[in-house]
């Protein structure tokens, strides 16, 4: 855009004089960054101002039509202001370009284009097509520069947050991308920029039509301001006779006024520095009149100085830059020396304290203090290293996404180029068809000439239309490219803000859990009035719900009452201590989920989304161990169940079993009915009176009792079927899931009346605990604690009553694929997870009380999974089978011995006969007397 090129001499003249007071009206003005940098560059590198006359379509009634307006662009606010003339003090209105799109209609009048904002559509018309393309291209560039410019620095230094990678394009790359769509348009001389402001405004057919009645007050202000400026200029023309004429003023003496802020139109620009005493009074008055009359914010005029002054100013500015850089380096050196001196002083003080210590005990304490400091610094270094690795991993993921998007853009560009080639070929073919018509019957020459001329005229029109559409297509492609870059930048900012919000929520949960844990410890230690105060604080903390919203309107995601499968997040225990513990555990779970969402959950979801058809493989095994996302879990479980029971599945089998149950009542129906109300009392799907889950569970259990008459029903099957219903939601799928667990995954006799296989697994678990966790088993053996009362139920219902749902379903994901070995792995991992806490307890009663609920305190699913599948290795299936075989033989031998003792007792009892002690009346006699 043609603009007022400010030479270095003029830039240097705008600097404030040391003699002027700081508070005067002619004090230093803050130049824009582009203008201040332009002073040190050559004249041709100065920034160009976007301004010029355009016709705007508007008005109402009889005065509706095109109106000539002066448009100028504000760099800071990304607004396009417009007024009636370039000399108006106040603009009529402005157009917000930050969210606007631009369009040129091929079928519209030449030079017409549109600016579409979310609130309105502005139709403009330029003098020529070249001016229109120039304005569209410049507006695109200004909008992109506004969005890609860095934000203003904060007032105080803040801790840097990982806001994600920023999108930056080099100027050469951006120009190359722009040339791919639309070649840069040459600046139309005299039609845009400050040169256009020096020319008179375009004449309109009616003077009244060019007046804006909508902004009548602004029009009156501008008119009065121009009249006042003209009167002052006329008064200056009749100066004293002894003064020099305006033309005799030396050009070097005239100072150029600085451009005012476009964001505040109507304000006069700041006064320029005082001229030298040699300037005449007439020159001062003329300069003042020019400042009052010329109120266009982006219009500046001035005269250049000699080449010698420019060279001097450039040399001085380069010297200032060199001195500034040297000063910065010296300051950095001084700061480093200060730090070194401070470290040396601290070391000297520590050495003095060590030498001044009277006893070895004091010196030893000083050494221990230093060792603790070194250990703390080492931990900080490890934490920073872990954070660096996580950031590097995140950066690599962002780089992959960016490469994928670039490939997609390249494909679209190639597709667009191919379409343009097809259009060109078709247009050439149409041209050849018009130029070479098929042979027809001879016609008169006059008719043939007329037809040829008409066809040639049509062809010219079609060529014009084709060229217009081609230009429109190139511009629209450029517009789409620009808007896509802006949208991508905004999406990255939004993603970074969401990650920061999740991180802050996780930290909030951690602080709240630490607060509750501190209250719990204080309650155990405090007595009297303090205990009552602590009880009140705990009650308030348990009733508190994070439902407040941020000032910006973004709502937090607090710990909800129920999780995604209907389980109570904070169980309603009767004891206050257990309530507090449950609240702490819920906060820890929420914190771990928020912190691991971006680093773990999102990559896992992407891997599952890209997996495609399921097939047994090592990759699928690792994915199932890591956990299945909720949206994929029903599909994956159905595939795993079908893999287990495909040899048992018969079409219509489930409905046939239900029909059989309606005809005849099963003996286990009464026990099933009793256990329905005791199934997951902390789950809303089984406690709500209007829920359909209890009826579904009843039908699934009755159908299974007819499917497997040898078992019928065993306590624990209700919870297995309930978990399957919560995930699969279909009765038939839940039924086959129960069949798969009981008949194919678990060993035989696991749910029989004797529970033989269940007892065998408890003995196998004892051996594995002795092997993997010898310290824990020695501690429990010292206090004579038997773990089977706890672990027996774990194996029977696959942890359904023990773990929170977030961890429980991950266990089931691997269990349905790998089998019972997963139960042993997680049972060992649970004890390993809480080993240190159990070792601290020194009383059998405390250990039993802790074991009642300690599984609910496990919050970190990633840590538990790592212990189960890494720390417990090696864990061969062959060893598990050998242990099961050995313990089954011992158990069966014990059972045979017990049966033999029972038979001997019954035989001895029968041989003695039904003897009745003396003095006692038999039941038969008593009934006879009655």
Give pLDDT tens digits for 527-581: 555 666 666 666 666 555 444 433 334 344 444 566 778 777 655 544 445 555 5
Looking at residues 693-714, what average pLDDT do you find?
92
pLDDT of the residue at 719: 94
Looking at residues 651-666, what average pLDDT do you find?
89
The pair of structure tokens assigned to 16 is 């404030």
In a domain, 891, yes or no: yes
Residue with token string 């009464």 = 670
Instruction: Supply the CATH number for residue 765's domain.
Output: 1.10.472.80
Residue 210 pLDDT > 80: no
* Residues in Cβ contact with 562 at an 8 Å cutoff, skipping those fewer than 6 apart: 568, 569, 684
pLDDT in tens, 465-481: 888 888 888 888 888 88
Instruction: Name the domain count of the chain.
Output: 2
Alpha carbon 458 to its chain centroid, in Å, reads: 56
Residue 297's closest CA among 101, 76, 453? 76
Q: Are 253 and 309 in contact (CB under 8 A)?
A: no
* Domain carrying residue 122: 48-148+187-204
In a domain, 775, yes or no: yes
User: 176-185, 364-373, 718-727 — which one is most confidently predicted on average?
Assistant: 718-727
In a domain, 403, yes or no: no
Q: How far apart are CA 146 and CA 101, in angstroms?
A: 14
Buried b (16+ CB within 10 A) or exposed e, 57-70: ebbeeeeeebbbbb
In a domain, 253, yes or no: no
pLDDT band at 507, cuts 50/70/90?
low
In a domain, 438, yes or no: no
The pair of structure tokens assigned to 429 is 């073919």
Predicted TM-score (pTM) of this structure: 0.45
In a domain, 569, yes or no: no
Buried b (16+ CB within 10 A) or exposed e, 206-221: eeeebbbeebeebbee
pLDDT in tens, 799-840: 998 888 889 999 999 999 999 999 999 999 999 999 999 999
User: Distance between the two ends of the chain, CA-based, in angstroms?
Assistant: 125
pLDDT band at 294, cuts 50/70/90?
very low
Q: How far apart are CA 27 and CA 17, in angstroms?
A: 8
User: For residues 248 and 206, which has the higher predicted lDDT (pLDDT)?
Assistant: 206
pLDDT of the residue at 194: 78
pLDDT of the residue at 267: 41
User: For residues 135 and 511, which has the higher predicted lDDT (pLDDT)?
Assistant: 135
Q: Give phi and psi for 10, each to the nearest 5.
A: -70, -35
Q: How far apart are CA 465 and CA 327, in angstroms?
A: 63
In a domain, 502, yes or no: no
* Residues in Cβ contact with 220 at an 8 Å cutoff, skipping those fewer than 6 apart: none
% of the chain residues with pLDDT over 70: 67
Q: Are 83 and 299 in contact (CB under 8 A)?
A: no
User: For residues 43 and 421, which has the higher predicted lDDT (pLDDT)?
Assistant: 421
**Cα–Cα separations (whole angstroms), residue 277 to 18, 302, 407:** 17, 19, 67
Residue 793 pLDDT > 90: yes
Instruction: Supply the CATH number for residue 107's domain.
Output: 2.30.29.30
Coil, helix or strand at residue 101: strand
Q: Are 816 and 637 in contact (CB under 8 A)?
A: yes
In a domain, 845, yes or no: yes
pLDDT of the residue at 281: 42
Q: How far apart are CA 170 and CA 184, in angstroms?
A: 17
Looking at residues 27-44, what average pLDDT do you find?
38
pLDDT band at 179, cuts 50/70/90?
low
Q: How far apart are CA 473 and CA 480, in angstroms?
A: 10
Q: How far apart are CA 703 and CA 658, in angstroms?
A: 6
The pair of structure tokens assigned to 205 is 């057919």
Residue 788 pLDDT > 80: yes
């Amino acid at each position: 855009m043609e603009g007022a090129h400010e030479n270095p001499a003029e830039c240097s003249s705008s600097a404030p004089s040391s003699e002027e007071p700081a508070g005067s009206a002619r004090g230093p003005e803050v130049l824009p960054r582009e203008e201040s940098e332009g002073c040190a560059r050559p004249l041709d590198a100065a920034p160009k101002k976007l301004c010029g006359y355009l016709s705007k379509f508007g008005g109402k009634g009889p005065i509706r039509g095109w109106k000539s307006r002066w448009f100028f662009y504000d760099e800071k606010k990304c607004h396009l202001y417009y007024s009636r003339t370039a000399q108006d003090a106040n603009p009529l209105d402005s157009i917000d370009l930050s969210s606007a799109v631009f369009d040129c209609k091929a079928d519209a009048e030449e030079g017409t284009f549109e600016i579409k904002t979310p609130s309105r559509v502005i139709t403009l018309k330029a003098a020529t097509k070249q001016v229109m393309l120039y304005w569209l291209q410049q507006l695109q560039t200004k909008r992109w520069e506004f969005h890609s410019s860095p934000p203003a620095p904060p007032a105080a230094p803040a801790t840097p947050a990982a806001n994600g990678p920023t999108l930056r394009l080099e100027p050469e790359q951006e120009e190359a991308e722009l040339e791919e769509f639309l070649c840069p348009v040459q600046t139309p001389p005299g039609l845009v920029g400050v040169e256009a402001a020096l020319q008179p405004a375009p004449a309109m057919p009616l003077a009244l039509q060019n007046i804006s009645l909508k902004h009548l007050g602004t029009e009156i202000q501008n008119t009065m301001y121009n009249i006042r400026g003209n009167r002052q200029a006329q008064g200056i023309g009749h100066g004293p006779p002894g003064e020099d004429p305006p033309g005799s003023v030396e050009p070097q003496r005239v100072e150029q006024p600085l451009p005012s802020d476009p964001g505040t139109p109507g304000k006069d620009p700041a006064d320029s520095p005082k001229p030298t005493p040699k300037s005449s009074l007439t020159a001062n008055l003329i300069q003042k009149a020019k400042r009052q009359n010329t109120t266009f914010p982006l219009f500046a005029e001035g005269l250049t100085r000699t080449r010698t002054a420019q060279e001097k100013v450039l040399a001085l500015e380069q010297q200032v830059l060199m001195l500034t850089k040297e000063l910065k380096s010296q300051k950095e050196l001084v700061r480093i020396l200060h730090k070194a001196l401070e470290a040396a002083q601290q070391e000297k003080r520590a050495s003095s304290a060590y030498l001044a210590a009277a006893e070895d005990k004091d010196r030893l304490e000083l050494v221990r203090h230093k060792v603790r400091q070194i250990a703390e610094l080492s931990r900080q270094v490890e934490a920073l290293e872990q954070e660096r690795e996580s950031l590097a991993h995140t950066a690599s993921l962002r780089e992959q996404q960016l490469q994928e998007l670039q490939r997609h853009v390249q494909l679209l560009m190639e597709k667009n180029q191919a379409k343009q080639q097809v259009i060109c070929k078709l247009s050439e073919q149409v041209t050849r068809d018009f130029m070479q018509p098929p042979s027809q019957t001879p016609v008169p020459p006059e008719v043939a000439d007329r037809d040829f001329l008409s066809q040639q005229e049509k062809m010219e029109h079609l060529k014009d239309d084709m060229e217009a559409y081609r230009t429109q297509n190139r511009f629209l492609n450029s517009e789409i490219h620009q808007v896509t870059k802006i949208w991508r930048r905004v999406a990255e900012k939004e993603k970074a803000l969401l990650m920061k919000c999740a991180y802050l929520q996780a930290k909030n949960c951690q602080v709240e859990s630490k607060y509750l844990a501190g209250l719990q410890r204080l309650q155990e230690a405090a007595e009297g009035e303090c205990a009552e105060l602590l009880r009140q604080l705990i009650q308030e903390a348990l009733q508190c719900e994070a439902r407040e919203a941020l000032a910006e309107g973004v709502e937090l995601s607090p710990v909800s009452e129920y999780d995604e499968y209907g389980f109570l997040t904070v169980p309603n225990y009767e004891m206050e201590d257990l309530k507090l513990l449950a609240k702490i555990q819920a906060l820890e779970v929420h914190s771990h989920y928020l912190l691991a969402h971006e680093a773990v959950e999102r990559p896992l979801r992407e891997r599952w989304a890209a997996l495609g058809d399921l097939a047994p493989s090592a990759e699928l095994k690792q994915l199932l161990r890591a956990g299945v996302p909720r949206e994929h879990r029903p599909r994956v479980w159905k595939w795993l169940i079908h893999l287990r029971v495909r040899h048992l599945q018969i079409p219509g089998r489930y409905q046939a079993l239900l029909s059989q149950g309606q005809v005849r009542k099963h003996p286990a129906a009464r026990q099933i009915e009793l256990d329905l109300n005791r199934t997951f009392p902390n789950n809303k799907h089984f406690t709500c009176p209007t829920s359909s889950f209890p009826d579904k569970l009843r039908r699934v259990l009755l159908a299974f009792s007819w499917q497997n008459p040898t078992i019928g029903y065993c306590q624990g099957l209700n919870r297995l079927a309930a978990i399957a219903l919560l995930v699969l939601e279909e009765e038939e799928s839940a039924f086959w899931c129960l069949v798969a667990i009981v008949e194919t995954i678990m060993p035989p006799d696991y749910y029989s009346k004797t529970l033989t296989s269940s007892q065998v697994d408890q003995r196998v678990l004892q051996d594995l605990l002795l092997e993997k966790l010898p310290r824990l088993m020695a501690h429990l053996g010292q206090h004579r604690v038997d773990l089977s009362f706890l672990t027996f139920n774990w194996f029977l219902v696959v942890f359904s009553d023990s773990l929170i749902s977030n961890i429980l379903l991950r266990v089931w994901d691997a269990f349905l694929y790998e089998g019972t070995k997963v139960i042993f792995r997680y049972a060992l991992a649970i004890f390993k997870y809480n080993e240190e806490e159990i070792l601290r307890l020194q009383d059998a009663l405390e250990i039993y009380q802790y074991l009642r609920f300690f599984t609910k305190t496990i919050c970190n699913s990633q840590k538990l999974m790592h212990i189960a599948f890494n720390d417990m290795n090696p864990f061969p299936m062959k060893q598990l089978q050998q242990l099961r075989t050995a313990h089954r033989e011992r158990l069966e031998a014990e059972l045979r011995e017990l049966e033999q003792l029972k038979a001997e007792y019954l035989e001895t009892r029968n041989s003695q006969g039904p003897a009745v002690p003396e003095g006692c009346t038999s039941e038969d006699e008593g009934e006879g007397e009655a």
